């Protein structure tokens, strides 16, 4: 966990849902944020089979981040099952219709959405539809993270980032949870969005 704490609002609560196709790094990111193993991590798609919640307490950020609105007292991070197979247009392998519906309800109840994408596969069409649904119908701010950039060359990573920006209308953060590249930027963007959510302003 990044261990420099900002000034925080009293009594506030922000719920963050981490979503994406199978095996994009959602559970690794949640564990990184919380500084402990909250979600099981595996190369096997479908390891997380529903939702896993963790209360962070005070949120910690890099020294260089300055948030003029302050932070929040508590974050609840919700790790979710992979909603789609990353290579094919189908629902995640372990999700029944009922479980899929319950996960979507849980996501819709959160304040901030972190949409993770595997750079090797790009933007899944099912996730693209869900992204727009959450942003426009439910009015949820979405932070887009493209993970595993250590597995492709820089030119390819930038191509995927530009494609994602055009299709989603959001500028993604390029990260590698394995090497740490871009993690501080991702945390800073989540903090910025969460600050504006708590202040009731547009992002």
For 56-76, the pLDDT digits (tens) are 544 554 445 444 444 445 678
- When mean pLDDT is compared across 20-24, 162-166, 199-203, the lowest value belongs to 199-203
Q: Please, which residues have CB within 8 angstroms of residue 40's CB and are 6 or more apart in sequence?
A: 27, 47, 48
Q: Which residue has the higher pLDDT, 55 or 145?
A: 145
In the block, tokens 């609840």 appear at 76
Q: pLDDT value at position 113?
A: 94
Give the chain's domains with CATH numbers: 13-197 (3.40.50.300)
Q: Which residue has the higher pLDDT, 70 or 164?
A: 164
pLDDT at 49 over 70: no
Pairs from 159-168 (Cβ < 8 Å, separation ≥ 24): 160/117, 160/119, 160/122, 160/123, 163/122, 163/123, 164/117, 164/122, 164/123, 167/123, 167/128, 168/115, 168/123, 168/128, 168/131, 168/132, 168/142, 168/144
pLDDT at 29 over 50: yes
Helix (H, G, I), strand (E, B) or coil at 16: strand
Q: pLDDT value at position 191?
A: 81
Euclidean distance between CA atoms 93 and 95, whole angstroms: 6
pLDDT at 114 over 70: yes
pLDDT at 15 over 80: yes
Indicate the pLDDT class of residue 200, thresholds 50, 70 and 90. Answer: low
b/e burial code for range 5-42 (CB count within 10 A of at least 16 → b): ebeebeeeebbbbbbbbbbbbbbbbbbbbbeeebbebe
- Report the percent of the chain where pLDDT is more than 90: 33
């Amino acid at each position: 966990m990044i261990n420099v704490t900002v000034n925080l609002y009293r009594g506030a609560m922000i719920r963050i849902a981490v979503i994406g196709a199978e095996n994009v790094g959602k559970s690794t990111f949640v564990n990184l944020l919380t500084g402990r193993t909250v979600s099981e991590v595996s190369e096997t798609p479908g390891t997380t089979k529903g939702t896993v919640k963790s209360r962070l307490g005070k949120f910690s950020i890099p020294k260089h981040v300055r948030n003029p609105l302050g932070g929040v007292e508590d974050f609840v991070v919700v790790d979710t099952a992979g909603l789609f197979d990353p290579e094919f247009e189908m629902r995640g392998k372990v999700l029944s219709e009922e479980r899929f519906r319950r996960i979507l309800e849980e996501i819709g109840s959160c304040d901030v959405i972190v949409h993770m994408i595997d750079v090797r596969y790009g933007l899944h069409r099912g996730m693209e539809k869900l992204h727009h649904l959450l942003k426009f119908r439910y009015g949820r701010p979405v932070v887009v993270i493209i993970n595993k950039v250590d597995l492709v060359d820089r030119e390819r990573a930038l191509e995927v980032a530009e494609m994602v920006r055009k299709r989603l209308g959001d500028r993604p953060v390029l990260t590698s949870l394995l090497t740490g590249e871009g993690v501080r930027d991702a945390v800073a963007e989540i903090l910025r969005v969460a600050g504006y959510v708590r202040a009731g302003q547009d992002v």
